[in-house]
Amino acid sequence: MVKLTCDKHIFDFSKENKPALKIKSGDIVEIQTMDCFSGQIQIGSGKLSEIDFNMINPATGPIYIEGASEGDTLKVTIKKIETGSSGVLCTGEGQGVLGDIMEGLTEKIIPLDAVNAGFYGGLNLPLNKMVGVIGVAPKAEGISSRLPGSHGGNMDNKMITEKSIVFFPVFTDGALFALGDVHAAMGDGEVGGSGIEVTAKVTVKLEIVKDIKLVNPYLENKRLISTIASAPSLEEAVRAAVYDMDNLLTTKLPLDSNDRSMLLSQAGNVEICQVINSLKTVRFNFPKWIVEFYG
């Protein structure tokens, strides 16, 4: 297993970035990440109102995968996510959905154990460790690691967790993969402006697939196939994710477009990943057992 430390990081996904590491398809990499604030908020020091917002969402990498070229697909298997013993949770004026009714900015250090995050008065919230920023270099100009897109990026999809497999379209030689912004816990929507932001070690297997062609990322786990799309509005993102699922199922199910639409309406589920970005991200989930039923 190869290890990559968080001192090698980027703040934008770009084909102009120099690789921090070169590997072969099928290699396993342990990736160390900073929290989304680049460590600027610690116990006893650092305020959200004082941090440098140019240092938000560092993504460790990029990793060059030998043999990857435009038109390929990068298969990323999330094998393990290990977090630190505490995280940072923030909100306040101008932050998240309720930003117009809050005053000032608030940050809290949240203690973590193996299964829970501590909140107020003994309340424990269950962990759901997930990767917020993950993706490859886009085809055209660079894109900030604070934004999502067809390359991945800041999708804040809580299904990107241990044992999930995420597929990305490759736009440039080597793919130039990076990840960061790990959360110990986060609800769908990330409505307050942050999850529990943590340092982490994320172990992934990176493989190049030649026979899958994608427009946007998609995800698989034991139960579901999930298409992921980002757009300026939720309606546009939903439309893109549903169309992506329909296109995917066209090759897997012996059904015409009318039958597929009825099946998607009955068995598929639209879910929100995040609504706080200028681009909103949704996922459309479809049960694997139905695909298996049709062989």
Percent of the chain with pLDDT over 70: 99
Q: Is the pLDDT of residue 81 over 70?
A: yes
In the prediction, which pLDDT does 141 show? 95
Distance CA 165, CA 78 (A): 6
Work out whether the CA dihedral 139, 170, 261, 190 comes out positive or negative.
Answer: negative
Provide the residue type at 178 as one letter. A
Q: Which residue has the tokens 């034991």?
A: 222
Of 4, 33, 1, nearest to 21 (Cα)?
A: 4
Q: How many domains does the chain have?
A: 2
Q: What is the mean pLDDT of residues 215-219?
A: 97
In the prediction, which pLDDT does 52 show? 85
Do 76 and 123 lie in one domain? The reply is yes
Q: What is the 3-state secondary structure (H, E, C) of the chain?
A: CEEECCCCEECEECCCCCCCEEEECCCEEEEEECCCCCCCCECCECCHHHCCHHHCCCEEEEEEEECCCCCCEEEEEEEEEEECCEEEEEEECCCCCCCCCCCCEEEEEEEECCCEEECCCCCEEECCCEEEEEECCCCCCCEECCCEECCEEECCCCCCCCCCEEEEECCCCCCCEEEEEEECCCCCECCCCCCCECCEEEEEEEEEECCCCCCCCEEECCCEEEEEEEECCHHHHHHHHHHHHHHHHHCCCCCCHHHHHHHHHHHCEEEEEECCCCCEEEEEEEEHHHHHHCC
In the prediction, which pLDDT does 102 show? 94
Tell me, what CATH number does 288's domain have?
3.10.28.20
Distance CA 102, CA 250 (A): 47
Q: Is the pLDDT of residue 44 over 80?
A: no
Instruction: Decide: 64 and 175 in contact? Cβ < 8 Å.
Output: yes
Full domain range(s) for residue 208? 2-214
Q: Which residue has the tokens 């897109």?
A: 149
Alpha-carbon distances, residue 34 vs 14, 82, 85 (angstroms): 20, 12, 13
Do 58 and 87 lie in one domain? The reply is yes
Q: What is the mean pLDDT of the chain?
A: 95
Do 210 and 225 lie in one domain? The reply is no
| Phi–psi pair at 239, nearest 5 degrees | -60, -45
In the prediction, which pLDDT does 35 show? 96
Q: Please give the model's pTM, rounded to 2 decimal places.
A: 0.95
Structure tokens at 100: 């117009």
pLDDT digits (tens, 9 = 90+) for 253-267: 999 999 999 999 999
Do 102 and 184 lie in one domain? The reply is yes
Where is the domain boundary, 184, 214, 244? 214
Percent of the chain with pLDDT over 90: 89
pLDDT digits (tens, 9 = 90+) for 83-125: 999 999 999 999 999 999 999 989 899 999 999 999 878 899 9
Do 32 and 59 lie in one domain? The reply is yes
In the prediction, which pLDDT does 41 show? 87
Do 30 and 163 lie in one domain? The reply is yes
Where is the domain boundary, 185, 214, 243? 214
Tell me, what CATH number does 33's domain have?
2.60.120.580
Q: Is the pLDDT of residue 45 over 80?
A: no
190: region left, alpha or beta (phi > 0 left; psi from -120 to 50 alpha): left
pLDDT digits (tens, 9 = 90+) for 168-201: 999 999 999 999 999 999 999 999 999 999 999 9
Alpha-carbon distances, residue 145 vs 88, 135, 151, 204, 277 (angstroms): 19, 9, 11, 19, 12
Q: Is the pLDDT of residue 78 over 80?
A: yes
Of 164, 170, 192, nearest to 68 (Cα)?
A: 170
Do 40 and 175 lie in one domain? The reply is yes
Do 80 and 184 lie in one domain? The reply is yes
Do 234 and 116 lie in one domain? The reply is no
Do 119 and 261 lie in one domain? The reply is no
Q: Is the pLDDT of residue 225 over 90?
A: yes
Where is the domain boundary, 214, 249, 280? 214
